[in-house]
Structure 1
Amino acid sequence: MNPEPSPARRSRRGSGAVTLHDVARLAGVAPITASRALNTPAQVSPEVLRKVTEAVARTGYVRNVLAGGLASTRSRLVAAVVPTIAGPVFQQTVQSLTEALAEAGYQLMLGQSGYAESREDALLEAIIGRRPDGIVLTGILHSTDGRRRLLAAGIPVVETWDLTPTPLDMLVGFSHAEVGRAVAAFLQAKGRRRLAVVAGDDERSKRRHDAFRDAARAAGLPEVRILHVPAPTTLRSGRRALAELLAADPAIDAVFCSSDLLALGVLTEAQARGMAVPGQLAVVGFGDLEFAADLEPALSTVRIDSAAIGRQAARFIVDRAEGRPVAERVVDIGFSIVDRASA
């Protein structure tokens, strides 16, 4: 007579998946007890927890979090949408968001939307259908359809890396317009008069350079020359942009870049041409990435505490998911200009 097959083998012959009943049978406990051990381990004895844990390891069981979510309205899953993971500017936010959520027992699902509304809409539709406990978005500008879906879903939403007094739900970020005005004043105080911008063609970057241009006009400076490059920005696009700017106006004496990678490209092209930085040309970046302080000359840049954005977004989501009130729905983390040798 053949021995009785193991729970894992028996279930694969049937539905193809190991079930909670299989785990409970192998552990010698009731299915409800196995469920408690997996979902609320503090409610069972150490011995029961050990038996269930061993049964999970032997069977390879993975609990159906969606099924649990349908019963409890909690998935313990949070979705984050960023434009790109190709560049490093959002990496610290994602890392701190991941860590802070994990400490509270939540997992992060990451989506890449690009810089087009249509791609974000398709991604949001897929995310909302999975009913996460929260959604973290980059920016405040979404399509009409995207906003409608988000509002109708009733899922806690945190918008990040931007600022508005009227968020969809909750928001943590800073003012891009204020950044532009502050950098224009910074360069003017350095005695720079012929200013230029090298910027990615995304909306947040546009608001920075529009405010930069307007501040320069108000100060009576010559018209700011603005050159757009495709987002996500790269070192190569920075080099090409400076070459094009200098061909149009060799008298440019300062360049504000919409990313540190662009600024690195501008610095590289300036050095290749034998231009003295900051003697002939001041360069200011955005992001204060790790390499900025180690360049020669060290890069002046706008510092954003991107890790703080991730941590605050996680606090917002966890508080709302667990029924705690959120008193302040908008958090402005601000920014600072780091004055280094390139300016």
Structure 2
Amino acid sequence: MSDPTKPTYDDVVRIPAPPGRGPATGRPPRIEEVAERAGVAPITVSRVLRHPEKVNRETRDRILEVIETTGYASNPHARALRSGRSNVVVAFVSNILSQQFGLAVRSLAAALEPEGYEVLVGQTSYSYAKEVAMIQSLRGIRPAAVMFTGVIELQENRAALQELGIPVIETWAFPRDPIDMLVGFSNADAGAMAAERLAQAGHRRLAFIGRSSGRGALRRDGFRAAATRLGLEIVHEIGVGEITGLVDGRAAFTALLDRGNRASAVFCANDLLATGALIEARSRGISVPRDLALLGFGDNDVADQITPGLTTITFNAAAIGRAAGELLLARLAGTPQIEPRHAVELVLLERGSV
């Protein structure tokens, strides 16, 4: 089995900006810069934003024109950060329905809230377009720090986050080059563990269901590499785009059967996909694991309650959030730098579907 004390680095894809579009970088303008360009004192800019009726029309229009041109944002969180008192930490989750992501964010909040910080949550839905929009929104919010349940692949987003000059924590993977801090696990090792477990159970012809990009692709690649090493054959791979719920797992399993499934075991590289696949198998009268074995990744309450329980590779999601919170508190308190990269151990939960 893979060595849990020495996680394999994930070869995370780095995606350059599309031709003709530069990186979404640039520090948001300060009120002093707006004032200088408008030829007024900073207090006058503040007065226009708070009490515009107290400023003559010509000066007010000139200041508003500069604000529109520069994209200056004034809100309580931005003012708080400029004065060194921002208490907002933003957590972006890939899917708000995921139990693992929820556990991580709750543990993050449990670590931060007693110290006076607020945690705001946004959802990227595994969408690059949403990720771009949300990261750009940080320029207006100007939080104290940000956490992602994933790693950032778009180079323009990596640059934009670095330009913000705030602590950034990426999770759910183990790349060589995180933006800042990292609490994660090796997706390559997770895929390898899946192939090793299925081989141990005597399966030689396998299938894969998972996202065709991002962390799903990393697990698929680890699964492929281990299958080749062990002399196993992957007869089908079902790629999935956005994952919204169990229905996606049922649809992917149906697509597998429509191809004339010749596998004796399936690795589903996502807990929602695996649980949906198990439900669909039961609805079709397919006995698991007698007719077909199913191995999942991640974990949720449904996987433990349905019969047979879903065997899955998982990890301590709460520990990810807790470690992220501790790293952020140390950085925000200005304490000496501690190790910014933490690996979480992968665990195999045996429940009967293999």
TM-score above 0.5, yes or no: yes
* Residue-by-residue CA offset, 1:19-62 (whole Å, 9 max, x unaligned): xxxxxxxxxxxxxxxxxxxxxxxxxxxxxxxxxxxxxxxxxxxx
The one of 171, 186, 191 equivalent to 1:175 is 186
Give the drift of 1:65.
5.6
Give the drift of 1:133.
1.3
Matched, 1:70 2:82: yes
Structure 1: runs of 5 or more not aligned: 1-14, 17-62
Amino acid at match of 1:238: G
The one of 307, 330, 348 equivalent to 1:319 is 330
Deviates more, 1:188-197 or 1:239-248: 239-248
Instruction: Quote the Cα distance in structure 1 between the aligned partners of 2:107 and 2:329.
Output: 14
Percent identical across equivalent pairs? 38
Q: Which residue of 1 aligns with 2:255?
A: 244
Say if 1:148 and 1:260 are closer, same or farther in 2 by CA, change over 3 A.
closer
Secondary structure at the aligned position of 2:267 is classed as strand
Deviates more, 1:205-214 or 1:140-149: 140-149
Say if 1:132 and 1:233 are closer, same or farther in 2 by CA, change over 3 A.
closer
* Residue-by-residue CA offset, 1:288-341 (whole Å, 9 max, x unaligned): 212222221011011121111111111111111110123211000121111111
Q: Is the 8 A contact 1:87 1:232 kept in 2?
A: no
Alignment of 1:144-159 (within 5 A): 144-159=155-170
Matched, 1:113 2:142: no
Secondary structure at the aligned position of 2:99 is classed as coil
Instruction: Quote the Cα distance in structure 2 between the aligned partners of 1:292 and 1:84.
Output: 17
TM-score under structure 2 length normalisation: 0.75
Q: Which residue of 2 aligns with 1:308?
A: 319
Q: Is the 8 A contact 1:199 1:229 kept in 2?
A: yes
The one of 88, 92, 95 equivalent to 2:103 is 92
Matched, 1:289 2:300: yes
Give the drift of 1:152.
1.9
Matched, 1:271 2:271: no
TM-score under structure 1 length normalisation: 0.77
Greater RCO structure (CA 8 Å; 6+ sep): 2
Give the drift of 1:233.
4.6
Amino acid at match of 2:250: R
The one of 230, 235, 258 equivalent to 2:246 is 235
Say if 1:99 and 1:263 are closer, same or farther in 2 by CA, change over 3 A.
same
Give the drift of 1:64.
5.1
Instruction: Quote the Cα distance in structure 2 between the aligned partners of 1:223 and 1:258.
Output: 14
Say if 1:148 and 1:67 are closer, same or farther in 2 by CA, change over 3 A.
closer
Deviates more, 1:260-269 or 1:160-169: 260-269
Q: Is the 8 A contact 2:103 2:318 kept in 1?
A: yes
Q: Which has the larger radius of gyration?
A: 1
Say if 1:168 and 1:65 are closer, same or farther in 2 by CA, change over 3 A.
closer
Structure 2: runs of 5 or more not aligned: 1-49, 52-74
Give the drift of 1:165.
2.6
Aligned residues: 282
Secondary structure at the aligned position of 1:291 is classed as helix
Q: Is the 8 A contact 2:204 2:232 kept in 1?
A: yes
Secondary structure at the aligned position of 1:182 is classed as helix
What is the RMSD computed on CA atoms of the aligned residues? 2.0
Q: Is the 8 A contact 1:133 1:317 kept in 2?
A: no
* Residue-by-residue CA offset, 1:214-266 (whole Å, 9 max, x unaligned): 21122222234110123215322222322322332343211111222222222
Give the drift of 1:101.
1.0
